[in-house]
Chain A
């Protein structure tokens, strides 16, 4: 299966711990997007990355959240000192081209973060 992979699928953290969410894009895709989704809500954009570059992080909180997409390996969304309000589903999507007339994205299955 060459689809977008995310792990872990479920992550439980206590308040104050760190959460690390991983995303491997589809083969051949070099553009990665991270989204957050709360129940009964749509997708909230967080950050857009290309290999070794953060292109747009306007949707990501300035504190405690960071993202990277290294030359080798998966993209990682890191949340430090988690709080209960961070509990949500986090989705990664990848695309083969950058912004163009077509914005098709392919999503992973998501990581469900629960902060206790």
Chain B
């Protein structure tokens, strides 16, 4: 069974601060997705990483896939209140169904 552990579970910061959230597993994934879910809405796909060591940037968000394709990180620079939400990682490989982590709940205070 593939498991994805996300940390921290909760994060509350002030606008302008930087933060990093992590997604770790003992399993190798063929790809990994990051989603953001706002209260009352469905998850929205942010990025997919496929290659070990890959780094992708989306404005103030930087995503990295570990060299061994077992872990990933999401770094947000100068967080804004609009970044508030639940950040979910999901890994694919080995079955039909992606494995989802439990998420990191981020609150950015103005």
* Residue among B42, B100, B105 having the largest count of chain A Cβ atoms under 10 Å: B42
Given that A33-B97, A98-B96 are known contacts, is A103 also in contact with B41, CB under 8 Å in the complex? no
B interface residues, tally (CB under 8 Å):
26
A103, B94: Cα distance in complex, Å: 11
Q: Are A101 and B30 in contact, CB atoms less than 8 angstroms apart? A: yes
> Number of A residues whose C-beta is below 8 Å from B?
27
1/0 per residue A97-116: CB within 8 Å of B?
01101111111111000000
CA–CA, A97 and B80, complex, Å: 35
Count of inter-chain pairs, beta carbons less than 8 A: 67
| Cross-interface CB contact of B88 among A43, A56, A103, cutoff 8 Å | A43
In the complex formed, the residue of A with least CB distance to B35 is A107
With both beta carbons as reference points, the residue of chain A lying nearest to B45 in the complex is identified as A104
Residues of chain B within 8 A (CB-CB) of A55 are 96
Q: In the complex the two chains form, what is the Cα distance from A93 to B100 in whole Å?
A: 13
The contact string, 1 if C-beta is below 8 Å from chain B, for chain A 80-101, is: 0000000000010100001101
Q: Interface residues of A: mostly helix, strand, loop or mixed?
A: loop
Contact with B along A25-43 (1 / 0, CB 8 A): 0000000010100001111
Residues of B within 8 A of A (CB): 30-31, 33, 35, 40-45, 48, 50, 88, 90-93, 95-98, 100-103, 105
| A interface list, Cβ under 8 A from B | 4, 6, 33, 35, 40-43, 45, 48, 55-56, 59, 91, 93, 98-99, 101-110
A-B contact pairs, 22 of them (CB 8 A): A33-B97, A41-B102, A41-B103, A45-B97, A55-B96, A56-B97, A59-B97, A99-B92, A101-B50, A102-B48, A102-B50, A103-B31, A103-B91, A104-B45, A104-B48, A105-B33, A105-B90, A105-B98, A107-B43, A107-B44, A108-B42, A110-B42
